[in-house]
Amino acid sequence: MPSIEQAVKAGYAKVFVRQDWQLFKRFAEFDLQRAAFLRTADMLRIARESRLLARNIEKRLLIGIGTELLLKAVYLRHNFSINKPVNRTAAPGFPFTFQQIQGFAQDPDETYMLNDLIQHLAAVPAVAPLGAVEKGLRIAKVFRNKEGHVVVARHTFDPTHYRDIEAALVALYARAFNQTLHVRFSVGRGERSLWRVN
């Protein structure tokens, strides 16, 4: 009998195919665009003194989640599978194309996580070399990990973190999707939000 975790996980089980990149990208953009435009004034269901903190937490979570979904879209679009093989010792090492993984069972319950996606992104020819892109992606990973696991009353605000993430996203859109992204995550007072894809 499966555990409760296994039973719930089964509802999400899928071996993803190349065409799924569009769905991943659509929801990555949904999260990232929400992060760009999220304002303190949107945090009406929490006490006034906690609204800025709540906005910042939610903004960073959305950036992290959106970044992971976007990277999965990149891999899928460029013919790389994101599901882990059932027998990792016999299968090719990640990343592998759909052709390279043929004949090996893939786990419908397990996809590669954000750290693996970042670490191996240079293997996607359209994206390589990473250069400064990696810095922004790693910051987004920390945002997702920390905001998803702890709450701290104060966070050291460094606006360059957001600029680095924006630069990484702009580069990914240009290289992986042949699109021009204009993005600005409004975090400072009076900063204007921007999300436009051409």
- Reported as a single tens digit per residue, the pLDDT across 184-193 is 999 888 889 9
Please state, in angstroms and rounded to a whole number, the distance separating the CA atoms of residues 90 and 69: 27
The pTM assigned to this predicted structure is 0.95
| 93-144 pLDDT tens trace | 999 999 999 999 999 999 999 999 999 999 999 999 888 899 999 999 999 9
Per the listing, tokens 């997702």 go with: 144
Residue 4 falls inside a structural domain: no
Q: How many domains does the chain have?
A: 1
For residue 196, report the phi and psi dihedrals to the nearest 5 degrees: -145, 135
Residue 184 falls inside a structural domain: yes
Residue 124 falls inside a structural domain: yes
- Domain holding 118, by residue range, is 16-197
